[in-house]
Structure 1
Amino acid sequence: MTLPLPLLCFSLFLIISTLIPLIRHDYWIFRIFEYPRLQKLILNLIVILIITVWYMPENTVAWIVLAALFLNLLYLCYQVYPFTILGTKQIVKSRNPPGDNNVRLLIANVYQENRRAADYHRIIDQCNPDLILLVETNLWWQKQMDSISSDYPHQLKIPLENTYGMILYSRFELENGQVNFLVEDDIPSIEVDVRLRSGVLIRLFCLHPQPPVPQENPRSTERDKEILMIAKKAKKCAQPVIVIGDLNDVAWSYTTELFSKISGLLDPRRGRGFFNSFNAKYFFLRFPLDHIFCSTDFTLTSIQRLESCGSDHFPMCADLQFDSDSEARNEAPVADQEDKELAEEKLAKPIEIF
């Protein structure tokens, strides 16, 4: 049977949308198709079932399309596999009960126009974190959240009205804290040392670069550059390192994988699930955009996606444990020469103001 033209066109679109991200170009149209990997897999499977059940191919074109869809499905399964529970866990589970070497983190993109601050107070009470990073925070959000200051006396605040404000609340002592504008003058990041209850000093990086979308920035150059600058800083750091934030990039993109290789940091989601934190408002359009990376000095006590608080992002909570013996059990990603050259090429690209 001949395939209906709409079904044929949609099949070709699915295949092309999988191949487009293989083109290493910074323009948004090439990067945006990296996001819906799981969605493409599901749609690809549905189309294959429709064709085989209702439109069994009877001509060469239809058979070629069906074969291409099968190959596309296999490739997407290969891409998705590391983030399923069947994949290898990149960071081992904590062997010791939570104690003075643990740090419990809460990351939340509050969505600047959101007004459900009370829900975040409730989430904080439930999660009971040691460190809280809130992004898209302006002065209104700072005033709403500052009531937790008695429990979180150590703070770094950069409230901004451009949706790139950032506030860090901590129960732990903060040292050598600095706010950096690494790539763009109005996009801050935080670099600070955090002293755990045990006295161990860790380096924390918090960031929230622009996404590659037409209404924000039509290319990923600035985002990729900031992410890789943090990667190089983390690699050079002699202390245990944690990187958190809304990276506006999916966990499986080639830029995030490059970040992991250059920094040597681990992703606790690998082997445990997708933990899709965006978009909280649309069930089928969800991607893992809010990230937690750590050095091999840590093990994972827990990680979870929390309930929606009115933002387009779900909050994320993770509990990491510093363990001096974990380095022998965690295998750090390693950058080869090609990875290093690609990173340097991205870092050397000029910045444009849009």
Structure 2
Amino acid sequence: MELALNLTKIFLASLCLLAVAASILKLGHWSVRMFDFPRLQLLAIAFVTMVLFFIPSLNTDPWSLGLLAGVVASFIFQAFKIYPYTFFGKKEVRVAKEHSRENEISLLVSNVYTPNRHVEKLIALVNRYQPNLVLTLESDEWWGKQLEIIEKDYPQQVKIPLDNQYGMHLYSNLPLDNIKELYLVEDDIPSIHAEVILPSGRKVQIHCVHPEPPSPSESDSSVPRDAELLIVGKNVKDADLPVLVFGDLNDVAWSRTTRLFQKISGLLDPRKGRGFFNTFHAKYPALRWPLDHIFHSKHFLLTKIKRLPSISSDHFPMYGRFQLAPENEQENQKEKLDKEEKDWTQETIDQSNPNILTI
């Protein structure tokens, strides 16, 4: 029994330390980058491991104390990473106190999971929340056909049906202008870029993205995903219009890439200080993290953000409603990039050999 307990402590402690080391390394291989995702789970593992060190009592030999110190450090490291997304963190986006329908925009983002056939659940959510924009990801010809029922309420559509799990459909009940269907990095992974005209006549620039994740079944490296996000970030950083970037980013909010994307673009994350809004995996509560995102420029205030009920996909849909500030812009909290970050950004983009650099 004692041997099993000691082996368990050593194994879990090693996992905690490995996760920290992987986070510090700037390698793109999926086996390293996968530790970006389960930080909440790693925090729980570190806590359990610390408890085990005191069962039945703390061993005070140097080896045990050193290992315990490493676990404590890993607990603090993981807690530091996710803290901004807890209710204790500082809110990055203020709440709109006044509402103007003419300057409001709402959106529903849903990775539908291509084999999923419960389209009626998504349609029910669209009918209930009546967003201005509906973005579906992983939607193929079948999904496009089934969603024709909402087209009467969403006369503006951008359809890219693909059977490779990277199809996307955008539906809008507001006018769209300057629509672009682009393949920024990979030849078979699209993104949608357009301008939405609000009832007030003001325009909002939108970017709908779904880059390829680092995984053994997708891409061995995170470089294509990282490059796509960084390219979008560089293109919107000096935009003349208010900006919304949303979709399944296949990355978590606290990863180096997404934090760098925010620093480059100057976009804000309405989840900070409000919760994780874990959208994946919908079917496994113990293995969830936030993959579906809505970022926006400083011009918006938050009216509502919500993770919606399951549509039998592996992702939960996300809903957000935002208000253009009538006069005072949202406080700009853009951080400056240091030289190392600039170099890593350029190296990552160059390694991906992108198709397009300017959107």
Task: State if a TM-score over 0.5 links the two structures.
Answer: yes
Q: What amino acid is the match of 2:118?
A: R
Q: Could you tell me which residue of structure 1 aligns to residue 186 of structure 2?
A: 184
Moved more, 41-50 or 167-176: 41-50
Tell me how far apart the structure 1 counterparts of residues 314 and 139 of structure 2 sit (CA, whole Å).
14
Q: Could you tell me which residue of structure 1 aligns to residue 357 of structure 2?
A: none
Tell me how far apart the structure 2 counterparts of residues 311 and 128 of structure 1 sit (CA, whole Å).
20
Q: What amino acid is the match of 1:342?
A: W
Deviations along 1:296-319, one digit per CA (max 9) or x if unpaired, are 000111101011111000000011
Q: Could you tell me which residue of structure 2 aligns to residue 246 of structure 1?
A: 248
What does 1:1-354 correspond to in 2, within 5 Å? 4-327=6-329, 329-351=331-353
Q: Is the 8 A contact 1:221 1:351 kept in 2?
A: no
Q: Is the 8 A contact 1:92 1:330 kept in 2?
A: no
Matched residue of 2:52: which SS? Answer: helix
Q: Is the 8 A contact 1:265 1:293 kept in 2?
A: yes
Tell me how far apart the structure 1 counterparts of residues 230 and 55 of structure 2 sit (CA, whole Å).
47
Tell me how far apart the structure 1 counterparts of residues 116 and 145 of structure 2 sit (CA, whole Å).
14
Q: What amino acid is the match of 2:253?
A: A
Give the deviation of 1:339 after TM superposition.
Answer: 2.5
Q: What amino acid is the match of 1:227?
A: L
Q: What amino acid is the match of 2:13?
A: S
Matched residue of 2:329: which SS? Answer: helix
Q: Is the 8 A contact 2:266 2:333 kept in 1?
A: no
5+ long unaligned stretches in structure 2: 355-359
Q: What amino acid is the match of 1:197?
A: P
Tell me how far apart the structure 1 counterparts of residues 100 and 148 of structure 2 sit (CA, whole Å).
27
Q: Is the 8 A contact 2:43 2:78 kept in 1?
A: yes
Tell me how far apart the structure 1 counterparts of residues 328 and 292 of structure 2 sit (CA, whole Å).
24
Q: Is the 8 A contact 2:99 2:323 kept in 1?
A: no
Deviations along 1:107-161, one digit per CA (max 9) or x if unpaired, are 0000000000000011112222110000000000001111101100011000001
Tell me how far apart the structure 2 counterparts of residues 31 and 324 of structure 1 sit (CA, whole Å).
41
Q: Is the 8 A contact 1:15 1:72 kept in 2?
A: yes
Moved more, 280-289 or 87-96: 87-96
Tell me how far apart the structure 1 counterparts of residues 129 and 280 of structure 2 sit (CA, whole Å).
19
- After superposition, the Cα gap between the structure-2 partners of 1:128 and 1:328, relative to the gap in structure 1 and judged at 3 Å, is closer
- After superposition, the Cα gap between the structure-2 partners of 1:9 and 1:222, relative to the gap in structure 1 and judged at 3 Å, is same
Matched residue of 2:180: which SS? Answer: strand
Q: Is the 8 A contact 2:9 2:52 kept in 1?
A: no
Q: Is the 8 A contact 1:174 1:194 kept in 2?
A: yes
Tell me how far apart the structure 2 counterparts of residues 290 and 215 of structure 1 sit (CA, whole Å).
20
Matched residue of 1:56: which SS? Answer: coil
Matched residue of 2:295: which SS? Answer: strand
Tell me how far apart the structure 2 counterparts of residues 78 and 274 of structure 1 sit (CA, whole Å).
14
Q: Is the 8 A contact 2:167 2:190 kept in 1?
A: yes
Tell me how far apart the structure 2 counterparts of residues 261 and 325 of structure 1 sit (CA, whole Å).
24
Tell me how far apart the structure 2 counterparts of residues 194 and 176 of structure 1 sit (CA, whole Å).
9
Q: What amino acid is the match of 1:81?
A: Y
Matched residue of 1:327: which SS? Answer: coil
Matched residue of 1:38: which SS? Answer: helix
Tell me how far apart the structure 2 counterparts of residues 41 and 311 of structure 1 sit (CA, whole Å).
27
Identity score, percent = 40
Q: What amino acid is the match of 2:94?
A: V
Q: What amino acid is the match of 1:75?
A: F
TM-score (norm 2): 0.95
Matched residue of 1:100: which SS? Answer: helix
Q: Is the 8 A contact 2:301 2:330 kept in 1?
A: no
Give the deviation of 1:97 after TM superposition.
Answer: 2.3
Tell me how far apart the structure 1 counterparts of residues 271 and 173 of structure 2 sit (CA, whole Å).
25
TM-score (norm 1): 0.96
Q: Is the 8 A contact 1:90 1:330 kept in 2?
A: no
Matched residue of 2:237: which SS? Answer: helix
| Count of residue pairs brought into register by the alignment | 352
Give the deviation of 1:328 after TM superposition.
Answer: 5.2
Q: Is the 8 A contact 2:137 2:169 kept in 1?
A: yes
Q: Is the 8 A contact 1:262 1:339 kept in 2?
A: no
Q: Is the 8 A contact 1:107 1:244 kept in 2?
A: yes
